Structure 1
Amino acid sequence: MRHEAEVTLKKLAGPSAELREDQWTAIEALVAQHRRVLCVQRTGWGKSAVYFVATALLRARGAGPTVIVSPLLALMRNQVDAAARAGIAARTINSANLEEWDAITAEIAAGSIDVLLVSPERLNNPAFRDDVLPKLAATAGLLVVDEAHCVSDWGHDFRPDYRRLRTLLLDLAPGTPVLATTATANSRVTADVAEQLGDALVLRGSLDRESLRMGSLTLPSPSHRLAWLGEHLRDLPGSGIIYTLTVAGAHETAAFLRSQGYDVAAYTGKSEDADRRDAEADLLGNRIKALVATSALGMGFDKPDLGFVVHLGAPSSPIAYYQQVGRAGRAVEKADVLLLPGKEDADIWRYFASLAFPPEHQVRAVIDVLAASGRPLSIQALEPRVELRRGRLELMLKVLDVDGAVRRVRGGGWEATGAEWRHDTERYARIAAAREAEQEAMRQYAALTSCRLEFLRRQLDDPEAAPCGRCDGCAGAWYATEVSPEALDAARAHLGRAGVEIAPRKLWPTGLPTVGVPLSGKIPAGEQSLPGRAIGRLSDLGWGERLRAVLTGPDGPLPDELFNGVVATLAEWAKGDARWEQRPAGVVVLGSQHAPELVASLGARIAAVGRLPLLGTIPAARSTDTASRTNSAQRVRALYGGFEVPADLAAAVRSLDGPVLLVDDVVDSGWTMALAARALRQAGAPGVLPFALALTA
């Protein structure tokens, strides 16, 4: 059997490939003993070789197809290509190939597929769950759980859909071997995953990465970090990945690097699938210097000769950081890994932490709404009746589904099961504390003067952790630490550009009549605002830090630095390619409860510099704090009827021959601006041009 395995491996990885002892131990346990195996091995060790070789051996012995649960499209594409090299027929069912699902399902039924890769989300698609999965579970020759740390809510990248694997494990035919693999599991996560597998053979190896040379460079501002990258990217070996913490950061960085003559592409979770495929292919073919990516390009992207990974901003977990830098140096002697941390990193960590599992009262409210409805409700129908944004609502429903409290049905609806549910408050608190400890560890990593790789390996509970001898802590900095004045000027000019569009709302949220608001469908043209402008986004590399400092600080007059951004934004709006159709004829201030002095001074200074009449203020009739944290339908419900245009202001706007400039500090969902603009239009304003200091996203 080992000779047969070696032959298959050479087809997969080349004529010089040889099985590692732990690889053979895993393969033998799966094929000969039909065991359950957990492999915790470093990136590049060859975990995929284990399941493809085991698949070939099992199929040759008459076993059914292998089912691989894999989390990312990039990973799936790489695995399908790798399987083909070994003569293994692999197909995938995911959100990007909807048109192929029927044909693939037929191939599964016909037995012509050796490997089926599915996303964890697919496991709970009602049609797949009810029609395909039972037969697949009963006939599978091998189940593979890739990136198995996602199973554990202690892991850095827990995904509720992975918990559905517990059900799948119970449905497997007796004696079906199971392989779980990950490179990023500490002892707690390893024990949790092994317990969920049940009686698993755990093969844990050293997490050393002999090719990686790691460093960290702390620079004083986003402009300095971008300037350093623009000046020194060409010095980094080969092609690589530049990670940013936000989508806005990825696009800003890519645009700047292109302006400096580099061939780069942006890659985020919001990119179209075709664009992501093209970007992956360009990096794999070394046609670009780098992909500027969010964590959407993470687990499993396989480019063996990747020469570097740079982080503009630190991930919130050293374990997540180890996973991302593991993309580099798989088949080259040396790869450079560099962290450029920023002061704003902690703000971004806090934002993502705020999206965690909701508190008990919000969860029970959702269960109660589903129980009282008497019929399944779609996300769109459920959203107006609860106080959760869609992303958090979807995450919560997935967790409740795994817990048995709700169930997804055909057509995309959700229903309550009637099963008793308990909010595990203590566990969620412990997980939150663990996340805070990880953030503190990441701060320590950035400031280390000792070995960086040893620190990361200890965070992953690697018993063999030892100084690497290569990083800047062991051998000193190999990278330049200077930024030239010319590079800094270019970065400042790029990040200092002011002005982003505030898109007008054109459709009312679905389900408003169910919460007592008599609005639906399209917003009439005569009640809409025009496209507006803000200086920037709170997540921007350039303006973000300055905007956050003012908007989260004590109320007071608008600082001159931000007013310079206001003037620049208005100037571009008046003369740029996307200029306003008609100059504003007056300024109206939108009353603020948390920053009244800031917004009042903003309106007054715009009116003065633009030689426009300051027409007055629309008072904020009620607190909108709750509305700002919930979904669109609940925001509209909270704000509906809350903006009353005073009689003198109404008379003033009716007398204008042009639109009013409606001024506020922050635009989040856009509904405050939309409803205030509607009130002005109904009072007779010819048009409304929204203006704010910042967009939240």
Structure 2
Amino acid sequence: MNHTELRLKADAVLARLVGDDSGEARLRDDQWRAIEALVAERRRALVVQRTGWGKSAVYFVATALLRAAGQGPTVIVSPLLALMRNQVAAAAGAGIRARTINSSNTQDWQAIQAEVAEGTVDVLLVSPERLNNPDFRDQVLPELTAATGLLVVDEAHCISDWGHDFRPDYRRLRTMLAELPAGVPVLATTATANARVTADVADQLGTVPAGDGAGPDRGDGEALVLRGPLERESLSLGVLTLPDAAHRMAWLSEQLEKLPGSGIVYTLTVAAAEEVTAFLRGQGHTVAAYTGKSENTEREAAEADLLANRVKALVATSALGMGFDKPDLGFVVHLGSPSSPIAYYQQVGRAGRGVEHAEVLLLPGREDEAIWRYFASLAFPDEDQVRRTLDVLGAADRPLSLPALEPQVELRRSRLETMLKVLDVDGAVRRVRGGWTVTGRPWQYDTQRYAWVARQREAEQQAMRDYTATADCRMEFLRRQLDDGEAAPCGRCDNCTGPRFTAEVSAVTLEAARGELARPGVEVEPRKMWPTGLPAIGVDLKGKIPPGEQPATGRALGRLSDIGWGNRLRPLLAPQSQDGPVPDDVVAAVVDVLADWAKAPGGWGTGAPDAPARPVGVVTVASRTRPRLVQSLGERISQIGRMPLLGTVTYAEGVPDVAPARSNGAQRMRALHGSLILPEPLSAAVADAAGPLLLVDDFTDTGWTLAVAARLLLRAGAERVLPLVLAAQG
């Protein structure tokens, strides 16, 4: 087939894909160049084009042409379930049968694999996590690799640890790329890659199988890079700096219905998304929350509601990001600034794909940088922690699962798993059935690279500060951050045309927002299971915590990650803060928490026949960092509540500092077990107390300090233990 015939067939597939019966649908020049490279030349290509440009059209049209030529199915590695759902629906419009293998449809895997083997599937979408699942990697992937007619890597910036959204699972693709049969084309696509990321991804794609001479334009095996301008003519960017979180929420409530169409309100944390959603609903707006803690069914329902314009907005974290496709999305508002201009551009690119005008507004907050620091602290572990993990795996006589490995290293499970995935790609460990093993291959900690990545992140944060403050064109600023050589003033942003919004909010709405944010009190759920693997590290505890040794559901004044009390508590509890008596406004809020707690269902102030008794005493937890704060808090509650301060759960003499709160539960428990004690006077007072006790501390993260202290009190005869803290992490 000559190139003219191929182009005609490609345009015909495009027409079916977009539902154009007029016969006027035509591929863009770069779309056609990519398809030509994949189908006619069997090349590897990287397409870096703005969101909404039509990258999916490239791989669906190429799929149809390759399948018509007798090639195997297209395999698309796709990062998010939202993207997969959209892609399956889009493929069906062009007569392309697409199926997915991901964590939400495990019951269908076997049937789907059979369909692939029978040749009835044109496109198989696979989540990157599947690539390193032992069964999938060892049993399914080799056959799939051998049969693949086209490999597509969507959101390819995830391959590169220079990218804003690096995902270790994506690095598994290096192995798959190297093992593809000769002549199998590969397409990588992204909308958010600067020059460094583009070069890194292209370099990884450019390693072609030995003996591959397919295509007259193959050259030296380097990937074809098609990079277009990243201008989005529909987006009108703006920044509005408001005094505090209450002003931002009030402004959003008053302006939300004035914003075009339906859209997305992004927040930096789950807690903030929940706070904003509750407030907006209370103000009569139809909105829904969308976060990493949402169940899959809740996310699907929220996506469907936004697609159908049944809600004005989704209030979302970055969990709603890559791949969500709503062409008529009319606005994106950020309550809080992302830490990277590239990540920001990727999120705002959700808007304005199929409409002439979309509003994009950033409302930065004073809590933003504290949140940036927190997420930065979760970067790749230091060398000592990595070596410790390798040593533990090396000494084991069998593969170790994450629950078995976790008690022996000071890393939380999610961070431990991410680290192991990186080590797997580096060849130092291997995931097998039953867990992880070391390979015995030499491995070096790449100190220089991790330091470079850290500096890159710091530079991105400074760029976001500069974006907020710049008096120049905002679109041009973002495009330059992505090394777009065609960047020029847009003529639409607030700096080009003047502000489109004022900072004014009504006193009534502002007061309502302040009331919402000032409402104190969040529940603190007790620990109900001991961490896995404690007996292996010398702590004889396992399984369920007996109900008689568990504290009740407690209360915290606020969460450090929220935009209400979190903003007040973060400076008070920061590592560098000076210890001192608890401030009066905090005490007043704690009293409100206690009053609400007493009146809550099951509270001691409800008067119900089965309601628990009122607390009869206060016990504090010793603090090595803020002893005056915790002691004064206990004293003030004791005075106001007219109940005795019975004493302090303290540390045994000679016990070193316990494991940091960010270590995993098993390590935290090993450090606490036997370290916290009840002094004899306190033990006697607890035994004499006839009623529940308030257990007071400044902060809870893992919940294990409260669990151990409560267990001691309950074993000493306490009727019930009610934890009360100033702040919770979550």
Alpha-carbon displacement from aligned partner over 1:397-434 (angstroms, at most 9, x marks no partner): 100110111111124x1111111111000100000000
Aligned residues of 2:19 and 2:93 also touching (Cα < 8 A): no
What's the offset of the Cα at 1:592? 0.7
Aligned residues of 2:235 and 2:352 also touching (Cα < 8 A): yes
Aligned mate of 1:432, from 454, 462, 466: 454
What's the offset of the Cα at 1:17? 3.3
Write the distance in 2 (CA, Å) between the matches of 1:537 and 1:549. 13
Aligned mate of 1:290, from 305, 313, 321: 313
What's the offset of the Cα at 1:616? 1.3
| Matched residue type, 1:70 | S
Structure 1 spans left out of the alignment, 5+ residues: none
Report the secondary structure of 2:677's partner residue: coil
Aligned residues of 2:559 and 2:566 also touching (Cα < 8 A): yes
| Matched residue type, 1:357 | F
**Most deviating of 558-567 and 320-329:** 558-567
Aligned residues of 1:627 and 1:638 also touching (Cα < 8 A): no
Alpha-carbon displacement from aligned partner over 1:606-627 (angstroms, at most 9, x marks no partner): 0011011111112233454534
Aligned residues of 2:658 and 2:668 also touching (Cα < 8 A): no
Aligned mate of 1:524, from 520, 543, 546: 546
Matched, 1:18 2:26: yes
What's the offset of the Cα at 1:524? 2.0
Matched, 1:606 2:637: yes
2:588 corresponding residue in structure 1: 564
Matched, 1:575 2:599: yes
1:656 corresponding residue in structure 2: 689
1:444 corresponding residue in structure 2: 466
| Matched residue type, 1:566 | V
2:607 corresponding residue in structure 1: none
Write the distance in 2 (CA, Å) between the matches of 1:583 and 1:624. 34
Aligned residues of 1:593 and 1:623 also touching (Cα < 8 A): no
1:380 corresponding residue in structure 2: 403
Write the distance in 2 (CA, Å) between the matches of 1:39 and 1:605. 63
Alignment of 1:316-355 (within 5 A): 316-355=339-378
1:216 corresponding residue in structure 2: 239
1:533 corresponding residue in structure 2: 555
| Matched residue type, 1:573 | W
Write the distance in 2 (CA, Å) between the matches of 1:549 and 1:354. 18
Aligned residues of 1:593 and 1:620 also touching (Cα < 8 A): no
Structure 2 spans left out of the alignment, 5+ residues: 1-5, 207-221, 605-611
Alignment of 1:128-143 (within 5 A): 128-143=136-151
Write the distance in 1 (CA, Å) between the matches of 2:245 and 2:232. 30
**Which TM-score applies when normalising by structure 1?**
0.99
Write the distance in 2 (CA, Å) between the matches of 1:627 and 1:344. 23
What's the offset of the Cα at 1:659? 1.1
1:315 corresponding residue in structure 2: 338
Alpha-carbon displacement from aligned partner over 1:552-571 (angstroms, at most 9, x marks no partner): 12100001111121011001
Aligned mate of 2:134, from 120, 123, 126: 126
Write the distance in 1 (CA, Å) between the matches of 2:327 and 2:658. 49
| Matched residue type, 1:655 | D
Write the distance in 1 (CA, Å) between the matches of 2:77 and 2:649. 54
Matched, 1:300 2:323: yes
What's the offset of the Cα at 1:480? 2.8
| Matched residue type, 1:73 | L
Q: CA RMSD in A?
A: 0.9
Report the secondary structure of 1:619's partner residue: strand
| Matched residue type, 1:652 | A
Aligned mate of 2:529, from 495, 502, 507: 507
Write the distance in 1 (CA, Å) between the matches of 2:228 and 2:77. 23
Aligned mate of 1:498, from 506, 520, 533: 520
1:57 corresponding residue in structure 2: 65
Write the distance in 2 (CA, Å) between the matches of 1:215 and 1:434. 25
What's the offset of the Cα at 1:578? 5.0
Write the distance in 1 (CA, Å) between the matches of 2:27 and 2:602. 60
1:665 corresponding residue in structure 2: 698
Write the distance in 1 (CA, Å) between the matches of 2:630 and 2:158. 44
State percent identity of aligned pairs.
Answer: 68
Report the secondary structure of 1:592's partner residue: coil
Write the distance in 2 (CA, Å) between the matches of 1:46 and 1:367. 44
Aligned mate of 1:679, from 709, 712, 730: 712
Write the distance in 2 (CA, Å) between the matches of 1:23 and 1:185. 18
Alignment of 1:111-510 (within 5 A): 111-198=119-206, 199-411=222-434, 413-510=435-532
Report the secondary structure of 2:144's partner residue: helix
Matched, 1:73 2:95: no
What's the offset of the Cα at 1:479? 1.6
Aligned residues of 1:627 and 1:639 also touching (Cα < 8 A): no
1:6 corresponding residue in structure 2: 11
| Matched residue type, 2:650 | P
| Matched residue type, 1:644 | I
Report the secondary structure of 1:603's partner residue: helix
Report the secondary structure of 1:478's partner residue: coil
| Matched residue type, 2:60 | F
Report the secondary structure of 1:628's partner residue: coil
What's the offset of the Cα at 1:389? 0.6
Report the secondary structure of 2:502's partner residue: coil
Number of corresponding residues:
696
Alpha-carbon displacement from aligned partner over 1:115-145 (angstroms, at most 9, x marks no partner): 0000111111111111111111111110000
Aligned residues of 2:658 and 2:671 also touching (Cα < 8 A): no
Aligned residues of 1:70 and 1:118 also touching (Cα < 8 A): yes
| Matched residue type, 1:656 | A
Write the distance in 1 (CA, Å) between the matches of 2:651 and 2:226. 61
